A and B are shown apart, each in its own frame.
Chain A
Amino acid sequence: MQDKPNISAEDSPKTTFVLSKNGRPLLIEPDLDFIRMLGKHTPGIYKKCMQCGTCSATCELSPDPEPFPRKEMAWASWGMKDLLLGDPDVWLCHQCNDCSAKCPRDVKPGDVMAGIRQAGVIRWSFPSFLGKWASEPQSVIFLLAIPTLLLILALYLKDPIANVLGIIEPTGERIIYPYSSMFPHWLLISFFMFFSILASASGIIGAIRFWKAMKTTFPRKNPASAKSLFSSIIVTLKKIIFHDDFSKCTESAPRLWSHMLVLFGFAGLSLVTFWIITIRINPFIQGDFIYPFSFWSPWKILANLGGAAVLAGILLMIMDRYKGKESAHTGKYFDWLLLGTILIVVITGYITEVLHYVRLDPHRHLAYFTHLVFVLGLILYLPYSKLAHIFYRTTALIYDEYTGRNVEISTVVNANLTVNSDGEDSPRQEEETASEQGNATTQNGS
């Protein structure tokens, strides 16, 4: 647990967001569309925020220097989009909604933070139109069409390509009733591998863009608490694996368990997948590959347990959303899209498995195809859906460890909003001065 300072009546209400450098004022041009977007995203009318600071005081994750989400609420009320999208603190929030539950004006800061994160995903992802599609219900048809068409295309092209490359699917007595008759393994592996790499690359591009934005917008550096990049990454990974931050939430404690189940479930499933992908080079797999695994194979057991964990986790998450309808989080399209996709992936996965055991043709192929469409969707939209938090939150956590938080004063500058009254300074110059003034090491951050 974080030690909270004992705030007395005298020193509590003063707002202390130092936003200017060299004593220069910050020019604000509110983005009305951003405000309208956040307005749609949040059930509470967030502009009613009165800056009481209950949210920051309640939040167990919020650090003492420059706590969130109070300052983010002020910036959001003023439509300061550029500033918020480069704000690491937005991603330090794990949306446990303690703040939303305690907010005396019912403006749901937790949802506002989620909305800002969504806008961040749209802004930093590449190509960003996919991010936009992933955030609006009317584009769901495109989202569905892309993996479907890709898979159909792959099915049409599998034989010509196999002929050209001379690929022969392994056959043998122990390969019984194979799905590979429909979607050969070589295709499955190469196809999905290709898109996984593509998605990861896109996600990394987004993360780098975000890192740069954070560096220019919040170029703080506190030598007392800053870490090296390597140890920042290690600390962050530890945090993620052990769910340190999740465990601090009080309002929705089940979130710790549901997220753990989903995360580790997927980890198990990925392990099995990688085991299979390595079939041709894996020295531990001798002789003919037995596919599918028998039900009692340790790998099959791991896969089934992983699937069950994801299913259980997702169901817990959905229950949490419903239960929280009145108090905290109600969930939005962006959120439901991911939950729904994962749910469908798991369910179609199990259906495929069951249909396989009962050998029910041709339905099993249909189920398998559906399963593949959603798995591909999950992979394709990794950098654009809510799943993008894998990239952005991790990046923000690393940045937070790497820079350390300024305990005394933060020199904060908004790179995109630095036109001053004399009108001479260009944003670029501002940025440079900011870096100089901050700390040289921030330059080498990425």
Chain B
Amino acid sequence: MEDKIGIFICKAYGISEALDIDALCKVATDEYKVSFCKTIDSCEKPVLDSINEDIAREELNKVLIAGISPRCYTDDMFPQDVMVEKVALREHVVWCQPANDEDTQMLAEDYLRMYITKLQKMEPVEPFKSEEAIDKSILVVGGGITGLTAALEASKAGYKVHLVEKTNQLGGWLAKQHKSIPTKPPYRDLEDTGVDELIEEVKGNTQIKIYTSAVTSKITGAPGLFDVSIKSAKNGKPDSDVLHTFRVGSIVQASGWKPVEPRDTLPYGKVEDVIRNVELEEMVKNQDRITRPSDGKEVKSIAFIQCGGSRDKEHHSYCSSICCLTSLKQASYLRERDDDAKAYIFYEFMRTPGLYEDFYRKTQEDPGIFFTRGEVADVSRDDDGKLTVTAKNTMPGEQIQVKVDLVVLAAGMTPNSADGEAIRALEDARVAVTEGESDIQRDRAAETVERLKHHQGTEILNLEYRQGPDLNVLQNGFPDSHFICFPYESRRTGIYPAGSVRQPMDGIGGREDGTGAALKAIQCIEMTSRGEAVHPRAGDKSYPDFFLQNCTQCKRCTEECPFGVLNEDPKGTPEPWPTRCRRCGVCMGACPERIVNFKDYSVNIIASMIKAVEVPDEDEEKPRILALLCENDAFPALDLVGQHRMKYSPFIRIIPVRCLGSMNVAWVKDAISEGFDGVILIGCKYGDDYQCHFIKGSELADSRGENIREKLEQMQMENERVELHQLQISEYHKLPEIFNNFAELIEDIGMNPFKGM
């Protein structure tokens, strides 16, 4: 179908007062020969309706609305088969530039040129259609409170569930608990865990297939097409004794937690009758009495030592948020059984989040539970069989001692996760030890093997992904995701970690997480079946096309993709699994051959937009600066700059990119060759506390700096002409400064000598 482009230029919001609208129309009609160009009186609903009428009448398939920010529209405002682009003449031109100025007019006209060019180059998007049918069942890994809830919630929503549990019984840690901390007002009394009822409900649900004493030995494929192999948890190598195979659409990983090993300075394992909270819990669950492990005598006093290994920078740096509550609960066990018993709780900070504070207060009222802040300095065994606990800097005294029958260390939670990336690196290093090309390489590989060998055998999911068999982890072994903004997300599309593997939590948290992750899993299946992307470009129907004939097997795309979309064939040619893709375009930015492109977002489209800018001659003293802004933070921040009427250099030409990681170095070269005097790249914060929506994008862009420098060197240009900045949306006020400083810098360096060539 031949393109029919329509252009609508808005006159409201001060646009017509600040700009020469006729001149703008002429750019469209004269320069680009666009047949349909008209002005509109606003960008409000009635006008949008009239645009839709025009689209229908004129049979337009591409439309450009030059008016308000693209963020002011929703997708459903226009027919689905029409490509609609928006230029923010209001936010990006008239609100931040002086009215009726030559430079302002040039800026607006350039934006028009860029976006008309973009429309011309864009091709209609066809959603990805898998050859095989998208499977709509869900795999839940882990049969604890989170997994059980996820399975039940998914089945209630009409989805078939496969529930795999490593041990021989369902219920996880909660099933090993005698009682649960109070979960409802007035938050004073211990409760039954309720996990037995949940297990019964899951067992009675015909939509849920349960595999106990089983683990996933292999998962191949991609969202909607995961092929899962199950083997017995007890024996064998990954491929032996496969008990079941089935296909699922998405996966909830609720692999839970294990207790922290207490730090060396505590006498756990060295002094008898020093146990961990999990062991006390098991004791109370199984025998109801609390006895000393050493001689079986009834326990009359317990010292609880909080943070038994946690919150120690050298050992286990974070707070697990439930150990304090567990100690309060266990102190209550002791007191319920014996009115003369004593429980001492030594803490550094008592943490009882939210309304659990009420339970803390209740235990404070108990005459036999004693609290103090303080540092436990020593636990020693006396001749009479009792343990003497010495604590420093306590509230009743600078150094105090108590004699107790039992010492309980409040051990925190460590996620039951596997570091997929490290396992993969270990495998690669093992190969390199024998097949490395030089001694140095082989030695390095041997070092890597030594450093990473503790990851061996930790696999949980056993994914067949080029980047490793499990989810990537960030700090402390938790799966990599924005745990606050985007819970349950991971770096493997369609696989959602939930429960204590994601963040330390209690049973209520587990139930909430199970429900949330089930919803995510369902959402993934449904969107995948429609060929749409999931978070964060939810609903995007485009997907990357790999022109593999020109591939040089450089593996950059397979290695850099933050989501492990690409496997490799033995030769190293990428094998894309489109349903794993989040459409960030990092592969497009990575590819030196420029063979990865989307229909509506390609190396060529952006390059053409760059080339569409009219660069004035050197003697006009009007530099041009290209700014590539990340769509997620920096570009919306630009709207805020406009809303605050902050002014910045009129020489900046801004192009939004899906992620700064999709920036192809070719664009920098194109810009410089076209006569741009500098390029500024603005992405999200990276590092451990990254804010990049695609995890690695802005970091990858930075790592391409070397390539950029090489390109600049080839062109005999100064390094300073390219700058990369990290910006979060709340720092919008820094944008004008960044722009203006860069413009000044460019002025100092001087104009690009390539102008007009």
A283 within 8 A of B: no
Question: Given the known A-B contacts A45-B365, A47-B366, are A29 and B403 also in contact in the complex, defined by CB atoms under 8 Å?
Answer: yes
Number of interface residues of B (CB under 8 A): 28
Do the beta carbons of B382 and A421 come within 8 Å of each other? yes
B370 within 8 A of A: yes
Contacting residues of chain A (12-57) with chain B, CB-CB under 8 angstroms: 15-20, 23-30, 32, 35-36, 39, 45, 47-48, 51
Q: Which of A24, A45, A78 is close to B399, meaning CB atoms less than 8 Å apart?
A: A24
Do the beta carbons of A17 and B364 come within 8 Å of each other? no
Chain B contacts of A77 at CB under 8 A? 370-371, 395-396
B236 within 8 A of A: no
Do the beta carbons of A32 and B340 come within 8 Å of each other? yes
Do the beta carbons of A30 and B365 come within 8 Å of each other? no
Chain A contacts of B395 at CB under 8 A? 15, 51, 74, 77
B397 within 8 A of A: yes
Chain B contacts of A26 at CB under 8 A? 396-397, 399-401
Chain B contacts of A35 at CB under 8 A? 367-368
Do the beta carbons of A32 and B400 come within 8 Å of each other? no
Number of cross-chain contacts by CB at 8 Å? 85
Do the beta carbons of A47 and B401 come within 8 Å of each other? no
Q: Taking CB as reference atom, which chain B residue is nearest A20?
A: B399
Question: Given the known A-B contacts A48-B361, A421-B380, are A19 and B400 also in contact in the complex, defined by CB atoms under 8 Å?
Answer: yes
Q: Taking CB as reference atom, which chain B residue is nearest A412?
A: B397
A120 within 8 A of B: no
B207 within 8 A of A: no
B125 within 8 A of A: no
Chain B contacts of A47 at CB under 8 A? 364-367
A162 smallest CB distance to B (angstroms): 57
CA gap between A79 and B342 in the complex, in Å? 11
A264 within 8 A of B: no
CA gap between A147 and B401 in the complex, in Å? 48
A116 smallest CB distance to B (angstroms): 15
Chain B contacts of A36 at CB under 8 A? 367
Interface centre among B365, B367, B372, B402 (most CB of A within 10 A): B367
Q: Taking CB as reference atom, which chain B residue is nearest A23?
A: B399
Chain A contacts of B167 at CB under 8 A? none
A213 within 8 A of B: no
Chain B contacts of A25 at CB under 8 A? 390-391, 397, 399-401
Chain B contacts of A23 at CB under 8 A? 399
B220 smallest CB distance to A (angstroms): 56
Do the beta carbons of B364 and A27 come within 8 Å of each other? no
CA gap between A23 and B342 in the complex, in Å? 26
Do the beta carbons of B365 and A28 come within 8 Å of each other? no
Chain B contacts of A48 at CB under 8 A? 361, 364-365
Q: 1/0 per residue A69-80: CB within 8 Å of B?
A: 000001101111
B418 smallest CB distance to A (angstroms): 42
B361 smallest CB distance to A (angstroms): 6
B398 within 8 A of A: yes
Do the beta carbons of A32 and B367 come within 8 Å of each other? yes
Question: Given the known A-B contacts A77-B370, A421-B380, A421-B388, are A45 and B364 also in contact in the complex, defined by CB atoms under 8 Å?
Answer: yes
Q: Taking CB as reference atom, which chain A residue is nearest B350?
A: A50
Q: 1/0 per residue B354-366: CB within 8 Å of A?
A: 0000000100111
CA gap between A221 and B365 in the complex, in Å? 37
CA gap between A36 and B365 in the complex, in Å? 10
Q: Taking CB as reference atom, which chain A residue is nearest B393?
A: A15
Interface centre among A24, A78, A80 (most CB of B within 10 A): A78
Chain A contacts of B383 at CB under 8 A? 423
B477 smallest CB distance to A (angstroms): 34
Q: Which of B365, B371, B390, B398 is close to A17, meaning CB atoms less than 8 Å apart?
A: B398
CA gap between A420 and B365 in the complex, in Å? 29
Q: Which of B340, B371, B382, B400 is close to A28, meaning CB atoms less than 8 Å apart?
A: B400
A236 smallest CB distance to B (angstroms): 29
Chain B contacts of A17 at CB under 8 A? 396-398
CA gap between A19 and B392 in the complex, in Å? 11
A78 smallest CB distance to B (angstroms): 5
A134 smallest CB distance to B (angstroms): 24
CA gap between A79 and B369 in the complex, in Å? 10
Q: Taking CB as reference atom, which chain B residue is nearest A71?
A: B396
Contacting residues of chain A (395-446) with chain B, CB-CB under 8 angstroms: 420-421, 423
Do the beta carbons of A79 and B367 come within 8 Å of each other? yes
Do the beta carbons of A28 and B396 come within 8 Å of each other? yes
Chain A contacts of B390 at CB under 8 A? 25, 421
CA gap between A355 and B371 in the complex, in Å? 61
A59 smallest CB distance to B (angstroms): 18
Q: Which of B340, B366, B396, B403 is close to A74, meaning CB atoms less than 8 Å apart?
A: B396
Chain A contacts of B340 at CB under 8 A? 32
Do the beta carbons of A20 and B397 come within 8 Å of each other? yes
A87 smallest CB distance to B (angstroms): 13
CA gap between A420 and B399 in the complex, in Å? 12
Q: Taking CB as reference atom, which chain B residue is nearest A421?
A: B388
Q: Taking CB as reference atom, which chain A residue is nearest B380?
A: A421
A33 smallest CB distance to B (angstroms): 9
Question: What are the 7 tightest A-B residue pairs by CB atom distance, in nearest-first order?
Answer: A19-B397, A25-B399, A35-B367, A25-B401, A74-B395, A27-B401, A45-B365
Residue pairs across A and B with Cβ atoms less than 8 A apart, 15 shown, are A15-B394, A19-B397, A25-B390, A25-B400, A27-B400, A32-B342, A47-B364, A74-B395, A74-B396, A78-B396, A79-B367, A79-B370, A421-B380, A421-B382, A423-B382
Q: Which residues on B are within 8 Å of A, measured CB to CB? A: 340, 342, 361, 364-368, 370-372, 380, 382-383, 388, 390-391, 393-403
13 extra A-B contacts, CB within 8 A, seeds A15-B395, A26-B396, A27-B403? A15-B394, A17-B398, A20-B397, A25-B397, A30-B368, A47-B365, A47-B367, A51-B395, A74-B395, A78-B370, A78-B372, A421-B382, A421-B388
